[in-house]
Amino acid sequence: MSKNYPHIVVPPPGPKGQAVIDRDRASTATCYLKEYPLVVARGQGAMIEDVDGNRYLDFMAGIAVASTGHSHPRVVAAIKDAADRFLHICGGDFYYEPMAELAERLARLAPGSEPKRVFLSNSGTEAVEGALKLARHSTRRSAIIAFEGSFHGRTYGALSLTASKNTQRAGMGPFLPEVYHAPYGDIDYLEHKLLTRRLDGRDVACVVVEPIQGEGGYVVPPAAFLPALRALCDRNGILLVMDEVQSGIGRTGLMFACQHDGVVPDITIVAKGLASGMPLGAFIARADAMKWQPGAHGSTFGGNPVCCAAALATLDLVEGGLMANAARVGATLLGALRTIAGRRSVVAEVRGRGLMVGLDLKDPALVKRVVLGAFQRGVLLLGAGKSTIRFAPPLLIDDEDVRIATTVVDELLGD
């Protein structure tokens, strides 16, 4: 099928784009990290168009957020319908059906057959914060274990767990006490060093882990790691918290990435792709772990009715075919990138599941060059970790989209 993208009519940023960039730079916070001068005007499916008329193939989906593509008509219709009814009433204090329906659905979809309860937040970071509070409250323990290379957010509790880039933590201390980090994928270190020399397992409230590290470089752990981590938590009465913010909601070809390893967490955290771009996160906990009383945690905007409507439409689409498409097209993407790796000596490794795939390069300096070069040719990518190009497109891409994106990357690596 012929695509109307990529199509570059003026080298970006064009004059209209530059005008917006100048206004932005004069007024917005200096902490915003702008990857490249993309100034978006509209999006449709896997296509983004900038204000100067350039059209791009989107292989980053707003950092794995636009799971159903940009402005999917069914999601937009659900948003409009909900907005026509009412925009807000605090779900922490009152009732409305979309919130109840979404909680029911997430409790059903989350790994494990036991009863669950759901708290809705505005973001993944807030969901992480809530999960930490719940773990400490439920266990009456204080210590928390996270992993090197992890990313869990930038508020203080979540940032205390985050260990992917020192830029995110520089000048921000002190952090949450009783947080310990272990090498990702190394169960021996956890069991025979950390829990032998520094910590008693009876003092640990939870272990927080990404089933595939996102910002850390799209790292897939060894096959035995997550099951062994589950067993270690069981032996010590520790809650296992699975951060599926980037990997969940069908991105890896299953609803949750931990399902590839048959692991059932005690608490599952979701956000990003949950509502196709509307601000919504959640943590889903075993009902017997959610012991806190009314008022112990809350959110004014979390579970906003318009966001809930977007999430329900998103889940319909993900369950209705996009998750299966992520598995099928993801296999095509992995195969294409492995073919590139076989002929481009600069590639160190290709790894991932579904449409969460990393192309790791031997020279970290090449990542920004490839990402910027792809942007200039009309393909939107992002880096991750120190030396990885991440591929996290909308779940509706097809084989032709894969061919376009990988051909651009192959040519850039050849250059």
pTM, two decimals, is: 0.97
231-258 average pLDDT score: 98
The answer to whether residues 41 and 95 belong to one domain is no
Q: What is the pLDDT of residue 415?
A: 84
Of all residues in the chain, the percent with pLDDT exceeding 70 is 100
**pLDDT grade for 307, boundaries at 50, 70 and 90:** very high
**Residue 2 reports pLDDT greater than 80:** no
Q: Look at residue 240 and give its three-state secondary structure.
A: strand
Residue whose C-alpha is closest to residue 155's, from 142, 168, 167, 145: 168
231: which 2 tokens?
């067993």
**Residue 327 reports pLDDT greater than 90:** yes
pLDDT tens digits, 369-400: 999 999 999 999 999 999 999 999 999 999 99
Q: Is residue 155 part of a domain?
A: yes
**CATH number of the structural domain spanning residue 98:** 3.40.640.10
Q: Is residue 77 part of a domain?
A: no
On the CB side of 221, how many CA atoms lie within 13 Å of its CA?
26
Q: What is the pLDDT of residue 13?
A: 97
Compute the mean pLDDT over every residue in the chain, rounded to the nearest whole number.
97
CB 238 within 8 A of CB 215: no
CB 299 within 8 A of CB 262: no
Reading across the β-sheet that carries 347-353, which strands appear in turn?
A: 347-353, 356-361, 388-391, 382-384
The answer to whether residues 253 and 370 belong to one domain is no
**Residue 1 reports pLDDT greater than 60:** no
Of all residues in the chain, the percent with pLDDT exceeding 90 is 97
119: which 2 tokens?
């708290």
For 290-295, which contacts have Cβ atoms below 8 Å and span 24 or more sequence positions? 290/117, 290/134, 290/138, 291/137, 291/138, 292/134, 292/137, 292/138
The answer to whether residues 334 and 283 belong to one domain is no
Residue whose C-alpha is closest to residue 285's, from 145, 153, 132, 98: 132
Q: What residues make up the domain containing 377?
A: 15-71+321-414
The answer to whether residues 369 and 274 belong to one domain is no
The answer to whether residues 164 and 259 belong to one domain is yes
237-260 average pLDDT score: 98
162-190 average pLDDT score: 94
Q: What is the pLDDT of residue 384?
A: 97
**Residue 165 reports pLDDT greater than 90:** no
**CATH number of the structural domain spanning residue 385:** 3.90.1150.10
User: What per-residue string of b and e applies to 158-179 under the rule 16 or more CB within 10 Å gives b?
Assistant: bbbbbbbeeeeeeeeeeeeeeb
